[in-house]
């Protein structure tokens, strides 16, 4: 997390809402030989105390249980040119949004796998409305059985939430908005447009 307090004023509910909406993050744990990382779609409970996901059995993290872990959820990011501020003596930077969910990794009973998959697919399919949702019953029993043998249900018991929203809040409003306009006009893609929108709404540091 960035140490500048200007970028760390987002409330816990706001950070959790952002993480839940993204629904995808990088799971990191410490292990013998070095850190282990895995990119996972997840479901966050309403109160933000549990993040549920599944891991392939062959994933080295799937051999662990009860260990400390971090689920890092990142948002839009982009390079900010100092020319966009309309101020002298500025330097380049990179703006971004990140939320870290810290806690304890727990392996769930294998019997929970089917329900977890149904809830995950229901959540993600709902985002594609009005497309009729895909459901597990559209697969054959053989395919479902093979899938269940390949993956394991896990959850992160969330004990702490940290976030950085680095959106040029340390600059005067005109400079911040100028940088947002520059990002948007740069046309680097959907993510930079989303970053520019967040910068326009950011509270000054």
pLDDT tens per residue across span 65-123: 999 999 999 999 999 999 999 999 999 999 999 999 999 999 999 999 999 999 999 99
Q: What is the pLDDT of residue 57?
A: 95
List the one residue out of 200, 173, 201, 196 whose CA is nearest residue 184: 196
Domains of the chain: 5-111+152-198 (2.30.110.10)
Cα torsion for 192, 133, 143, 111, to the nearest 10°? 90
3-state secondary structure of 126: helix
Q: What is the pLDDT of residue 189?
A: 61
All residue ranges of the chain with pLDDT < 50 are none
Q: What is the pLDDT of residue 83?
A: 96
Burial 5-18 (b: 16+ CB within 10 A, else e): ebbbebeeeebbeb
pTM of the complete model: 0.90
């Amino acid at each position: 997390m960035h140490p500048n307090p200007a970028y760390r004023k987002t409330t816990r509910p706001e950070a959790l809402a952002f993480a839940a909406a993204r629904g995808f993050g990088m799971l990191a744990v410490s292990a013998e030989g070095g850190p282990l990382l895995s990119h996972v779609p997840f479901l966050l409970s309403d109160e933000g105390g549990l993040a549920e996901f599944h891991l392939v059995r062959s994933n080295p993290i799937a051999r662990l249980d009860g260990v400390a872990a971090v689920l890092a959820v990142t948002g839009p990011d982009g390079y900010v040119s100092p020319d966009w501020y309309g101020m002298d003596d500025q330097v380049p930077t990179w703006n971004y949004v990140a939320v870290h969910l810290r806690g304890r990794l727990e392996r769930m009973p294998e019997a929970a796998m089917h329900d977890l998959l149904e809830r995950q697919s229901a959540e993600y399919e709902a985002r594609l409305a009005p497309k009729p949702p895909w459901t597990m019953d559209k697969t054959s029993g053989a395919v479902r059985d093979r899938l269940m043998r390949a993956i394991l249900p896990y959850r992160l018991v969330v004990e702490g939430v940290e976030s950085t929203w680095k959106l040029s809040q340390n600059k005067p409003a005109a400079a911040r908005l100028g940088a947002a306009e520059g990002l948007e006009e740069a046309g680097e893609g959907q993510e930079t447009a989303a970053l520019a929108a967040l910068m326009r709404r950011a509270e000054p540091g």
